[in-house]
Amino acid sequence: LRLNGAPQIDEEGFVGRERELERLRTWLAPRPKRQNVVALCGLGGIGKTQLSIQFATRFGEAYSFVFWFNAKDENTVKAGLVVLAAQLVDNYTSSSVTNPQEEDRIVEQARQWLSQAANDRWLLVYDNYDDPCLPGIPSSTGYDIRKFFPHCVHGSILITTRSRRITFAKQLQLEKLDDIGQSLKILAARSGREVIGGKENCSERQMSFLVNYPSIC
Ligand SMILES: Nc1ncnc2c1ncn2[C@@H]1O[C@H](COP(=O)(O)OP(=O)(O)OP(=O)(O)O)[C@@H](O)[C@H]1O
Ligand SMILES: [Mg+2]
């Protein structure tokens, strides 16, 4: 399990999302000679990154290895692939990559490695792919994440994104938590303060704000 720099919260701090975890387990189960691609979509702060990390941590044993990338932009994905190559393919350190051509060569090496026929049980998490540039979705700043997939159609890929238009993947829409108690637990953890009285102490309107805007809260 290689979560290189993923923003992890304490495992005990994670609440809810059991239904979604089960869905991901089914959709991303390793299958010989087939590729699973799932896009976890939803508003900023709704919990996509934490769910993807929880999934990788809880079910990582089903895979030969798990690797997390920050897919915010092309450069962060490339940097992640260089780290993957350094850790899994070859014995060099990623800091020895000094120029873009060298970086591209190593990125390609990592993709080749992921494409090997015997290496088909991995899980890759591409987190924060919020700026896609895809057929029918123009973006001067975005990119097509598929150019960083392995050449071979195998393995399991989980993308998290604010976009609803990642149509090449099976989409799982993440909604707000349906249990107010769980939202209060997150609020308490994030603010470092106890939420006294919980449900009983909040008005209906406050509750609705809390549940609908978890990132702000
Ligand atoms: N299931 C959860 N259990 C506990 N805390 C959570 C959970 N989901 C989200 N959080 C809290 O909410 C914060 C925001 O969640 P997260 O970073 O996963 O959102 P996101 O959907 O990935 O947002 P963005 O689109 O900005 O990347 C987390 O840092 C964490 O504190
Ligand atoms: Mg995120």
Residues near ion ligand 2 (CB < 5 Å) are 48-49, 128
Could you give the residue ranges of the DSSP H alpha helices within the chain?
18-27, 48-59, 74-84, 100-115, 180-191, 204-212
d(CA 37, CA 125): 10
- Tens digits of per-residue pLDDT, 185-214? 666 666 666 655 555 566 655 665 565 555
- Give the residue, out of 73, 128, 176, 186, with the most ligand 1 atoms within 8 A of its beta carbon, to mutate for a pocket test: 186
- Mean residue pLDDT of the chain comes to 85
pLDDT confidence of residue 127: 96
Residue ID of nearest Cα to ligand 1 atom 9:
47
**The pair of three-digit structure tokens given for residue 122, joined into one six-digit string:** 């991995």
Residues of the chain with pLDDT > 90, as a percent, come to: 59
Q: What separation in Å is there between the alpha carbon of 41 and the centre of ligand 2? A: 10
- Tens digits of per-residue pLDDT, 127-162? 999 999 999 999 999 999 999 999 889 999 999 999
Query: pTM higher than 0.95, yes or no?
Result: no
Residue 27: which pLDDT band, with cuts at 50, 70 and 90?
very high
Query: Is the pLDDT higher at 6 or at 189?
Result: 6
Q: What separation in Å is there between the alpha carbon of 205 and the centre of ligand 1? A: 22
**The pair of three-digit structure tokens given for residue 214, joined into one six-digit string:** 């978890």
d(CA 41, CA 125): 13
**The pair of three-digit structure tokens given for residue 177, joined into one six-digit string:** 């938590």
Residue 96: which pLDDT band, with cuts at 50, 70 and 90?
low
84, with CB counted inside 10 A (0-12, 13-18, 19+), is buried
Query: Is the pLDDT higher at 92 or at 6?
Result: 6
pLDDT confidence of residue 217: 46
Residues 118-145: b if buried by 16+ CB within 10 A, e if exposed: ebbebbbbbbbbebbebeeeeeeebbeb
Is there an atom of ligand 1 within 6 Å of 159 CB? no
pLDDT confidence of residue 216: 45
Query: Is the pLDDT higher at 75 or at 32?
Result: 75
Contact 149, 176 (CB under 8 A): no
